Amino acid sequence: MNPSHYVVSALIVASLSGRGPAVAQTETPDTSGSALALQQSRAATRELLTSLRKTLEGRLASGGPVHATAVCADTAQALSGSIAKKSGVHIRRVSDRWRNPLDEPDMFEREVLRRFGEALRETTLTDATEHGQVVVEKGARVFRYMKPIRIQGMCMACHGEPDRMDAAVREVLRSRYPDDRATGYAPGDLRGAVSARVPLPDPRNR
């Protein structure tokens, strides 16, 4: 039977050292649009991360770290809105150490972030790691998807140890984000995740 007719209703993908990818899943026939929602979530996530990276690299090249400080905290909001408008996927970035309060995670996102953090400590968090799940919110079925974001070298100018940052960057962060929680990271740390939500059709109408 064609695998595309199945959807992972609860999914964590992680690469175990020396053992290749491991998938914990429950497979059910895709009669609800979940497989399509998974594809849409992955595509929207790729677009957001790619766009953010290109924007950040451009700001760093043209004006240095000071001009890049708003990219992750603010520009991401505009990009997310644009992607949502054209794809129908509600998408955003979340972190338990947010800079922009709009990135504060809900209860579902907090739990998945906790699992991602656990996987990082166990060295099983890889580029293939993701989480997808069908949930019921206010009586409606919704597909929820999350993809971890890890700190890279270029992130350190704005997310590293404050005493190692450029003084101008520290001042911008202090004035714009007085309750900033997003510093003190090291390369490879879990920064947060992309979180996507796709409404699913009511199976009673099928």
Tokens of 8: 């992972």
**Tally of CA atoms within 13 A in the half-sphere of 164 that contains its CB:** 11
Which DSSP state fits 33?
S
Q: What is the pLDDT along the chain (206 residues), one digit of tens a residue?
A: 333 333 333 343 333 233 333 333 334 445 568 999 999 999 999 999 999 999 999 988 988 888 888 787 678 889 999 999 999 999 999 999 999 899 999 999 999 999 999 999 999 999 999 999 999 999 999 999 999 999 999 999 999 999 999 999 999 999 989 999 999 999 999 999 999 999 998 776 66
Looking at residue 142, its amino acid is V
Q: How far is CA 93 from CA 22, 38, 64, 105, 182, in A?
A: 25, 17, 23, 9, 13
Phi, psi of 47 (to 5 degrees): -65, -45
DSSP single-letter state for residue 201: -
Alpha-carbon span 190 to 95, nearest angstrom: 9
CA-to-CA dists, residue 174 to 63, 178, 184, angstroms = 19, 5, 14
pLDDT tens across 16-51, in order? 233 333 333 334 445 568 999 999 999 999 999 999
- Which residue, chain included where needed, has tokens 């919110």? 137
Residues 149, 192 contacting (CB under 8 angstroms): yes
Give the pLDDT confidence score for residue 64 in this predicted structure: 87
